[in-house]
Amino acid sequence: MPRSSKIRTPLVLLNFKTYVEGTGANALRLAKIAEHVSSEIGISTAVAPQLTDIRMIADQVEIPVYAQHVDAVDAGAYTGHVLAEAVKEAGAVGTLINHSERRLKLSEIDEVVRKARSVGLLSVVCTNTAAVSAASAALGPDMVAIEPPELIGTGIAVSKARPEIVTDTVSLIKRIAPKVVVLCGAGITIGEDVKAALRLGTEGVLLASGVVKAKDQSKALMEIATAAVQK
Amino acid sequence: MPRSSKIRTPLVLLNFKTYVEGTGANALRLAKIAEHVSSEIGISTAVAPQLTDIRMIADQVEIPVYAQHVDAVDAGAYTGHVLAEAVKEAGAVGTLINHSERRLKLSEIDEVVRKARSVGLLSVVCTNTAAVSAASAALGPDMVAIEPPELIGTGIAVSKARPEIVTDTVSLIKRIAPKVVVLCGAGITIGEDVKAALRLGTEGVLLASGVVKAKDQSKALMEIATAAVQK
Amino acid sequence: MPRSSKIRTPLVLLNFKTYVEGTGANALRLAKIAEHVSSEIGISTAVAPQLTDIRMIADQVEIPVYAQHVDAVDAGAYTGHVLAEAVKEAGAVGTLINHSERRLKLSEIDEVVRKARSVGLLSVVCTNTAAVSAASAALGPDMVAIEPPELIGTGIAVSKARPEIVTDTVSLIKRIAPKVVVLCGAGITIGEDVKAALRLGTEGVLLASGVVKAKDQSKALMEIATAAVQK
Amino acid sequence: MPRSSKIRTPLVLLNFKTYVEGTGANALRLAKIAEHVSSEIGISTAVAPQLTDIRMIADQVEIPVYAQHVDAVDAGAYTGHVLAEAVKEAGAVGTLINHSERRLKLSEIDEVVRKARSVGLLSVVCTNTAAVSAASAALGPDMVAIEPPELIGTGIAVSKARPEIVTDTVSLIKRIAPKVVVLCGAGITIGEDVKAALRLGTEGVLLASGVVKAKDQSKALMEIATAAVQK
C-alpha cells in the first residue's frame, strides 16, 4: 500500500478550523510554526487550514497540507462545492473527511474516500465511536481519527478520559483493515495527552484549539511534538 | 445604501462552478479573460471561482471576485466550513448565496446575508421562482439572481424561454425592496439572451457553462459583454 | 381567500413535539384535553402530534389536527419522506413548516406552501426573525408563527421578552401579505404571555412545553385559553 | 442473538415508499394482500408503509410492519422528527435505515441502529456498495439490504445485473459480522430475480415498485413469494 507508507508517524496533525487565529495571515504564521517544530524536533507535523488558505500555505511551507473537507462531487455543475481535484491542485496532500463539525452521509464518505484515492489525496476519516471507526475503516481510507465530540475543545484529552474508546477503535480497526493508520483527537493539549494516545496504540494525534487558541502557539506545539517523539 | 452603489451595472457575473475549465490554472486564465473583456468593452465583469482559487485570482486580476458560497458560521470551531471573513481576507468582494446547486435553509440565508453585510461582502441570493425571489429580497441582500434550475446548463435562456418569471421577479422585488439589484441566469449563452434579460428589467446576468465550457471562452464572453453594453 | 377564513382566531395551537407526554396514548389523552378546553372556553384550539398519531387523533377528536412537518415531495419514490397527501388523508387539516427544530431550505418552503395549498392543508411557516417572517409571508402561506429559537422551552415568553420581534413581524407581514395570520411562540406558559401576544397584533399562539410538560396539562391549557378569550 | 432469530427467512419485505398505490386506504389493502400471500404460501412477508399508516396497518394485519425511516433523536424537543419509540408504540417491529432515498450521516446510522435495539425495533440498514455494506455491518444492525440506487425502480434486478455486488456484500459481511442477515433489492420484479438473489447468499429481498406499481399487486407478490420458497 504505497500511499499509506507515505505517512510518516507519529503524525501531529493540526486542524485550524475556522478560528481567527488560524485564518489568512494568521494561518500562514501558524503553518510556519508547525514547519519549524517539525524540523526542530524531527517529527512529522501537518496542517489543515481553511480552503481559501491552502494554496498560500502549500506554496510557502514544506510540511504537508490537508483540506478540512472535500465534497462527494466530480468536476462539473456543483457551485459552492469543494472538488478533490481543486484541493489537490492547490497543493494539499490529503483531506479530513466527516469531521464532527462537518458530518457526511455514509454513502458520501465512501465516495470521498474513493475520490481521494483516485486523485492522490490521503484520506483521514474522523469518527465518534469505536463502531463508527470500524465502519469507516471498512471503507478503506488511509487514516481514521477517533474524536469523541463531547471532548472536543474541552482540554480533557480523549486519551486520558476515554482510553477505552481509543483501544476499542484500534483493536476493531486492526481486525477489519490493519493498514489503516489510527489517530486520536479531542481535548489533546499537553504532552502527556499525546504520550497516552500513542501508548494506546494510535500513531498520531489530531489537534486544534489546544494549539490554535494557545497564548503561545509555538510553545504549545513544541511541547506536544517533543512528547510525541519521546513516547 | 452605499454598498449597492458600488455595484456597477450592467453586471456580467461569471460562475466557474467546479468545472475543470474553471479550476486552478484554468481559473486564473479565465479570470484574466474576463478582466480583458471588461477593459476592452468597458463593462462590469466579475468572476466566482472555487474557494481554493479566490486568493490567487484576487491577487492577479483587477475585476471583482466573488465566492460561490459562504456558510452561516462565525469564526470558531466549524471545521470544513466557509467563513465569510476568510473569503473576504482572501480578496473576495462578494458571494453567491443559495445557488440552486447549493441550496440553503431560509434561516441560513438570513444569517449569511447579514454576515456578508457585516464583514463587507456583497451578497447575491440565487432564487428559482418569483415567490422565492420576493422572499429573498425581504432579507435585504444587495442582489437577487433569478435562475430557474431546469434551464441551467441547457443553453435555453431564461430571458427568452421564461420571460414572465423574470418580469414577475423584477416587479415583486421592486415592490418589496426596490434597492435590490436583479440579475438573471440559466441558459444564457449568446448576446441576444443578455439583451433580452436587460430589456426585462434586470441589471445583469449570471453566466456559467455558456462561457466556461465554450470552445473559445474569450469569444463567447466578448459577444455577451458587447451585447450588454449595446442593450 | 376562502381557506384562511377557515382559521378561527384567536388560535391556540399546541405542538406535541416528540415529547413522551405527547406520544401515542399520551398524545390522544392530550388531544382530548385540548378538545375539552376548546368546547369549555369556546376557543379555537388545535394540536400538532407526531405523524404516527395523526390518524388516531383525527379519528377521535373534533378539533383540528396539524402535522409537525411535511416534505417537499410528491407521490412517488421517496422512501422515508412525509407526503402532504398522506398527512391529509390521515385527517390533518394543516401542517407546521420550517419549525426551528426542523428547518427547511427556502426553495423547499416555497414548494411545501404551494403543495399544502394544492392538497387543501393549511400552512403555518415557523420563523426566527422579523426578516425571515417577511420572507416567509412573501411565499403566501396561511399563517406565519414567529418563534425566536433561543426562547423555545425556556418559559420566558417571546411576547414579554422580545415584543419588538413580534411587532416588527406583524408590521412587515401586514405590508407584504396582509391576509397572512400571524402567530407567535416560544416560552409561552401562562395566560399573561398570551394576552401580551394578542396585544402585539398576533392572532394566536404556538405552544409546546409550557403545556405538554406541565404537571397538570389540563390546568395549564385552560389558563392559557381563558386568557386568550379575555384578551 | 435473540432478536435476529425472530427474523423468519427468506424474508420478502415490501416498501410502499410514498406511492399513491401504497398510501392510506391503498396501503391497508396492499398490506392485506401481503398478509394473504404470507399465509397462502407460508412465507415470511413484511410491509414498510408511510408513518401515518403504520398504526392502522399494524392494528389490522398480522404480518410485521416496518417504518421506512427513524430519526436519530430521543424523546424531547424535536418537532417534525420521527421517534423510534413512537414508531414502536404505533405497532412497528422494525425500521429501514438509510434508504437511498433517505440517506443518513454515518454517525446517525450508528445512533439509530443502537436506538432501534434499545427500544426493540429490528434494524435494516440500506446500502449502495459492498464497502458501504461492510461499513454498515460493523455497526451491528439486524439486517443489511444492498440496493444499488441506479437499478431502483428499473425492473432490472440487482441479482441478475450486478451479482458481484451482492456476493461481495455477502462475503464482506460474513467476515465482519456473520449474524447480520443480508437482503438485496433494486429492480426485483419477478420470481427469477428472487431465486437469483437467494442463490447469491442473501436471505431475502426488499421490493417496491415491482409490486406496489404492478397492475395486479396480488399476482405480482404471489409470484415472487412462490419463487422465494421454491429457491
Task: Please compute the mean of the pLDDT values over residues C87-103 and round it to a whole number.
Answer: 97
Asked whether B and D share 3 or more beta-carbon pairs under 8 angstroms, the answer is no
User: Is B62 considered catalytic here?
Assistant: no
pLDDT at C3: 42
pLDDT at B4: 46
Domains observed in chain B: 4-230 (3.20.20.70)
Which cell is A32 given? Answer: 510556519
Q: Are B206 and B145 in contact (CB under 8 A)?
A: yes
Q: Considering CB atoms only, which of B100, B129, B136 is closest to C135?
A: B136
pLDDT at D186: 80
Other beta carbons less than 10 A from residue C222's beta carbon: 18
List chain B residues with CB under 8 Å of A89. 23-25, 52
Query: Residue A15 has what DSSP assignment?
Result: E
- What pLDDT digit, counting tens, does each position of C196-230 carry? 899 999 999 999 999 999 999 999 999 999 999 88
Q: Report the predicted TM-score, pTM, of the whole model to 2 decimal places.
A: 0.95
List chain D residues with CB under 8 Å of A107. 98, 100, 103, 127-129, 132
Min Cα separation C34/chain B (Å)? 31
Residue found under cell 461481495: D168
Q: Considering CB atoms only, which of C20, C80, C100 is closest to D68?
A: C80
Residue A6's pLDDT band (boundaries 50, 70, 90)?
A: confident
Read out DSSP for C52-112? GGHHHHHHH-SS-BEES---S--SBS-TT---HHHHHHTT-SEEEES-TTS--BHHHHHHH
Identify the CA nearest to A106 among candidates D72, C108, C110.
Answer: D72
Contact state of D75 with C19 under an 8 Å Cβ cutoff: yes
Residue A165's pLDDT band (boundaries 50, 70, 90)?
A: very high
User: Residue D202: which region, alpha, beta or left (left: phi > 0; alpha: psi -120 to 50)?
Assistant: beta
List chain B residues with CB under 8 Å of C98. 106-107
Contact state of D208 with C77 under an 8 Å Cβ cutoff: yes
Min Cα separation D106/chain A (Å)? 4
SS3 D122: strand
pLDDT at C5: 54
Residue A175 has pLDDT above 80, yes or no: yes
Task: Please compute the mean of the pLDDT values over residues B23-36 and round it to a whole number.
Answer: 98
Task: Please compute the mean of the pLDDT values over residues C163-173 and round it to a whole number.
Answer: 94
Q: Determine the Cα–Cα distance for residues A141 and A121; give it in Å rounded to an integer.
A: 10
Residue D162's pLDDT band (boundaries 50, 70, 90)?
A: confident
C-alpha A218: how far from chain center: 19
Asked whether D and C share 3 or more beta-carbon pairs under 8 angstroms, the answer is yes
- What pLDDT digit, counting tens, does each position of C30-60 carry? 999 999 999 999 999 999 999 999 999 999 9
Kindly report which listed range (B3-7, B227-231, D19-23) carries the lowest average pLDDT score. Answer: B3-7
Q: Which chains touch B (3 or more CB pairs under 8 A)?
A: A, C
Q: Which of C106, C146, C152 best tests the B interface by mutation, with the highest count of B CBs <10 A?
A: C106
pLDDT at D90: 98
Residue found under cell 377557515: C6
List chain A residues with CB under 8 Å of B85. 20, 23
% of chain D residues with pLDDT over 70: 97
Contact state of C105 with B110 under an 8 Å Cβ cutoff: no
Burial B54-88 (b: 16+ CB within 10 A, else e): bbbbbeebebbbbbbbbbbbebbbbbbbbbbbbbb
**Chain C residues with CB-CB distance to D under 8 A?**
15, 17-20, 23-25, 48, 50-56, 68-69, 73-83, 85-87, 89-90, 96, 99-102, 152-153, 208-209
Residue in D closest to C104 by C-alpha: D80
Edge-to-edge strands of the sheet including C181-185? C44-48, C11-15, C204-207, C181-185, C143-146, C122-127, C94-97, C66-67
Other beta carbons less than 10 A from residue A177's beta carbon: 17
Contact state of A80 with B87 under an 8 Å Cβ cutoff: no
Task: Please compute the mean of the pLDDT values over residues B15-29 and round it to a whole number.
Answer: 98
Residue B3's pLDDT band (boundaries 50, 70, 90)?
A: very low
% of chain C residues with pLDDT over 70: 97
The packing angle between helices B106-119 and C130-137, to 10°, is 130
Which cell is D86 given? Answer: 413512537
Kindly report which listed range (B142-156, C69-83, D78-92, D121-135) carries the lowest average pLDDT score. Answer: B142-156
Residue D2 has pLDDT above 80, yes or no: no
Task: Please compute the mean of the pLDDT values over residues B162-187 and round it to a whole number.
Answer: 93
Min Cα separation C102/chain D (Å)? 6
Q: Determine the Cα–Cα distance for residues D46 and B165; give it in Å rounded to an integer.
A: 47
List chain A residues with CB under 8 Å of D103. 105-108
- Reduced 3-state DSSP string for chain B: CCCHHHCCCCEEEEECCECHHHCCHHHHHHHHHHHHHHHHHCCEEEEECCHHHHHHHHHHCCCCEEECCCCCCCCECCCCCCCHHHHHHCCCCEEEECCCCCCCEHHHHHHHHHHHHHHCCEEEEEECCHHHHHHHHCCCCCEEEECCHHHCCCCCCHHHHCHHHHHHHHHHHHHHCCCCEEEEECCCCCHHHHHHHHHCCCCEEEECHHHHCCCCHHHHHHHHHHHHHHC
C-alpha A217: how far from chain center: 18
CA distances from D190 to D160, D178, D227 (A): 11, 28, 8
pLDDT at D151: 80
pLDDT at D1: 33
Q: Which of C101, C107, C108 best tests the B interface by mutation, with the highest count of B CBs <10 A?
A: C107
- What pLDDT digit, counting tens, does each position of B32-75 carry? 999 999 999 999 999 999 999 999 999 999 999 999 999 999 99
Task: Please compute the mean of the pLDDT values over residues D85-99 and round it to a whole number.
Answer: 98
Which cell is D34 given? Answer: 401481503
Pairing of strands B204-207, C11-15: unpaired
D186 vs B14, which has greater pLDDT?
Answer: B14
pLDDT at B32: 98
- What pLDDT digit, counting tens, does each position of C6-36 carry? 789 999 999 999 999 999 999 999 999 999 9
pLDDT at C44: 95
Task: Please compute the mean of the pLDDT values over residues C184-199 and round it to a whole number.
Answer: 89
For residue C71, how many C-alpha atoms fall within 13 Å in the half-sphere facing its CB? 20
- What pLDDT digit, counting tens, does each position of D180-229 carry? 999 998 888 888 889 999 999 999 999 999 999 999 999 999 999 999 98
